[in-house]
Structures are given as structure tokens and as C-alpha cells.
């Protein structure tokens, strides 16, 4: 029996991630207000644990196709993670933010225990400022 690395998503997580990513890519064709309304509709669900959201975020990144001709960046991945979490009957907050010098925008997932997918990268001294958090 071959040991499975801890960060390898299970088959159910990959299926949830694939469905969440398909929904996210479909919604990305619509104006931002429709994506916000979709995430707002999930606000009555109970909160998800950070561990669960991290697993689903990893699964979304795992199933993201390299052949996709369009954009799959932080906004699509974070929205897919929020939607995959909702498919499990739990909720996570979708956060959008920005920073200056150099100007950049970023999207990530927030939980009660902390952010997921909030890459600091080279900007440790220039953190992102949350502009919108849904729900």
C-alpha cells in the first residue's frame, strides 16, 4: 500500500472542488454583483472550520485545469472554495481586497480561525486591505 501525502485531496473533496470550480467559472462570466449575491445567499449556513476550508482550497487548486483558455486566478479559486464549502452544508466568507505600491487586488477565503489562500508573497510589508467580505 502506497502512503498518501497529507495534502493530497480525497476523491469526494476533488468532486466537490470540481463542481465548485465549474460553478465559479460559470459565475465569472456574470457581473460581480451576481457573484456577490450568490455568496450572500449562503449566509444562513453554519460556519466551516479552517481545516475543512484548507482541504477544499487544496482540492480546488488540485483540480484546476492547465489547459483552460480563460482566467483561473485568485478570484475564481477563492469563489470555487466558498461554493465547494457550501456544497458540504457549511459557509466560509469570500474576501476581496487591495493594496498599494504596487497596486494589486486579491481575493481569498476567510474563516473564524483565519484566512485561507491569502498569499502575502513579496508584499509582507504591504498587506492587503479587505475591501469587501461576504457574508
Could you tell me the residue ranges of all domains in the chain?
11-134
CA angle (108, 28, 46) in 5-degree steps: 50
d(CA 18, CA 32): 21
What's the confidence (pLDDT) of residue 2? 47
Distance of alpha carbon 68 from alpha carbon 83, whole angstroms: 20
Decide if 24 contacts 76 (C-beta within 8 A).
yes
In the structure grid, which three cell numbers stand for residue 79, read together? 469563489
pTM: 0.88
49-91 pLDDT, tens digit per residue, is: 999 999 999 999 999 888 888 888 889 999 999 999 999 999 9
Amino acid at each position: 500500500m502506497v502512503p498518501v501525502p497529507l495534502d493530497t485531496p480525497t476523491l469526494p473533496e476533488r468532486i466537490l472542488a470540481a463542481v465548485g470550480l465549474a460553478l465559479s467559472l460559470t459565475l465569472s462570466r456574470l457581473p460581480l454583483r451576481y457573484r456577490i449575491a450568490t455568496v450572500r445567499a449562503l449566509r444562513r449556513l453554519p460556519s466551516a472550520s479552517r481545516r475543512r476550508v484548507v482541504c477544499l482550497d487544496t482540492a480546488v487548486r488540485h483540480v484546476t485545469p492547465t489547459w483552460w483558455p480563460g482566467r483561473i486566478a485568485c478570484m475564481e479559486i477563492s469563489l470555487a472554495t466558498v461554493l465547494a464549502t457550501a456544497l458540504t452544508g457549511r459557509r466560509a466568507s469570500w474576501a476581496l481586497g487591495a493594496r498599494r505600491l504596487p497596486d494589486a487586488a486579491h481575493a481569498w477565503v476567510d474563516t473564524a480561525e483565519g484566512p485561507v489562500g491569502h498569499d502575502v508573497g513579496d508584499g509582507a510589508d504591504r498587506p492587503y486591505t479587505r475591501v469587501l467580505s461576504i457574508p
